[in-house]
Amino acid sequence: MNFSFLTRRVLQLSLSLLAMTFITPNTALAKAHSAKKSNKAQKIALTSADNSEYANFTQWKEVAEFINYMVTIHGFDKLELEAMLRKTRYIDRAIKLIKPAPPGQPKNWTAYRIRFVEPVRINAGVMFWDKHADALARAEEQYGVPAEIIIGILGVETIYGRNTGSFRVMDAITTLAFAYPNTPTRATRMAYFKGELENTLLFARETQIDPFTLLGSYAGAIGLPQFMPGSIRKFAVDFDGDGKIDLRNSPVDAIGSIASFLVQHGWQRGAPIVFPTNVTPPNEKGESAWNKFIGDGLVAKFSLSELKEAGVVPDIEPPAELSFGLVDLQNGLGPTEYWLGASNFFALTQYNRSFFYAMSVVDLSNAVKSARMRY
């Protein structure tokens, strides 16, 4: 039997209407309930994909070994620790964020600097300095770290506490300790984060807090100064004198703790930080005697005379008795900036092992200091 297109559409519509009359109220409710469950499941799946997902870390061999270590060495209760790690979530975003930049992309100091030496951080730095001038002056007196350097670190790290991170530290550090991405330094980095997980649990026990209340960066750094748990235990101080160290809520503790950290990593009272410099052009073969000083560790270990002999030409004459390192700040396809870094510059690199980071702290500190003097 042949039907026209219009006739077929009329028949299909009639059959659909007829079928709807046989759907009972219970059937309709069931379908609506099923749709709601489906939507809810989709939302949960999206939430897990964006933030975290259940991994049952206790079934991982390396985690079981870690639990046994914590029980044997530090006397943790095994069942309690297993229950804690069952609550810990795998953070895929932490894995993505910790991965190094793809090879072949040139570093760009100018672009990096613009992110940190900018009006929001400068103005907020002036306000923070004014509010906590007494604590900053006391830290400078006690530790020898200038107020502006502490201001620079707090500004680069968290904009003076505005952005301290929203990752659960237990989740982030556990993920990186046992599922670090496949990079050349994977084994070293996993060992580091296992140590930080150990420190997280010890810190929580020592301060009698729930470790799941600790929020921080995707790498597990905590509070205004973004200290890792191990650094909190080793270098943080109760600078406000309330009987506890609280880098999450006490700017004064953060101020004293930054100064304490720098001094214990080589900061020298009253010593300079960096000097602008130039280098002689390469010869016709593209060779430079000064190139041997590039990338030779995060320490000031070369004399001024040997640097000059190799073609390093300081813009300002540094003290001859100090040791230096040659700092190169690459500018993408543009010319590289060169500086002579003294010991205090390399103390800053112990906070974050990057020339860009240390120099952005120096530049932000100077910008805030200049701005405050104008007000």
Of 140, 148, 157, 196, the active-site residue reads: 157
What is the C-alpha to C-alpha distance for residues 165 and 225, in angstroms, rounded to an integer?
A: 11
**Residue 361 belongs to a domain:** no
Q: Is 48 exposed, middle or buried (0-12, 13-18, 19+ CB in 10 A)?
A: middle
Q: What is the domain count for the chain?
A: 1
**Residue 209 belongs to a domain:** yes
**Residue 174 belongs to a domain:** yes
CATH number for the domain including 246? 1.10.8.350
**Residue 36 belongs to a domain:** no
Q: Is 115 exposed, middle or buried (0-12, 13-18, 19+ CB in 10 A)?
A: exposed
What integer pLDDT is reported at residue 286 of this predicted model?
80
328-340 b/e (C-beta count within 10 Å ≥ 16 → b):
bbbbeeeeebbbb
Q: Are 210 and 217 in contact (CB under 8 A)?
A: no
Q: Are 71 and 79 in contact (CB under 8 A)?
A: no
What is the C-alpha to C-alpha distance for residues 331 and 315, in angstroms, rounded to an integer?
A: 19
What integer pLDDT is reported at residue 181 of this predicted model?
96
Q: Are 310 and 293 in contact (CB under 8 A)?
A: yes
What integer pLDDT is reported at residue 102 of this predicted model?
80
Q: What is the 3-state secondary structure (H, E, C) of 167-231?
A: EEHHHHHHHHHHCCCCCCCHHHHHHHHHHHHHHHHHHHHHHCCCHHHCEECCCCCECCCCECHHH
What is the C-alpha to C-alpha distance for residues 348 and 220, in angstroms, rounded to an integer?
A: 20
What integer pLDDT is reported at residue 46 of this predicted model?
32
SS3 366: helix
What is the C-alpha to C-alpha distance for residues 89 and 98, in angstroms, rounded to an integer?
A: 17
Structural domain that includes position 72:
60-102+167-250
**Residue 108 belongs to a domain:** no
> pTM of this prediction?
0.85
Per-residue pLDDT of the chain (375 residues; tens, 9 = 90+): 443 433 334 334 343 433 333 333 343 334 344 443 333 333 323 333 345 788 899 999 999 999 999 999 999 999 999 999 999 999 999 999 999 888 777 899 999 999 999 999 999 999 999 999 999 999 999 999 999 999 999 999 999 999 999 999 999 999 999 999 999 999 999 999 999 999 999 999 999 999 999 999 999 999 999 999 999 999 999 999 999 999 999 999 999 999 999 999 999 999 999 999 999 998 887 889 999 999 888 999 999 999 999 999 999 999 999 999 999 999 998 999 999 999 999 999 999 999 999 999 999 999 999 999 987
**Residue 177 belongs to a domain:** yes
For the record, the structure tokens of 267 come out as 């900061």
What integer pLDDT is reported at residue 12 of this predicted model?
42
For the record, the structure tokens of 318 come out as 């540094």
Q: Are 135 and 239 in contact (CB under 8 A)?
A: yes
The number of residues making up the chain comes to 375
**Residue 98 belongs to a domain:** yes
Cα-based torsion angle of the residue sequence 226, 231, 235, 241 in order, rounded to the nearest 10 degrees: 60
**Residue 205 belongs to a domain:** yes
What integer pLDDT is reported at residue 103 of this predicted model?
77
Question: Does the active-site annotation cover 80?
Answer: no
What integer pLDDT is reported at residue 284 of this predicted model?
80
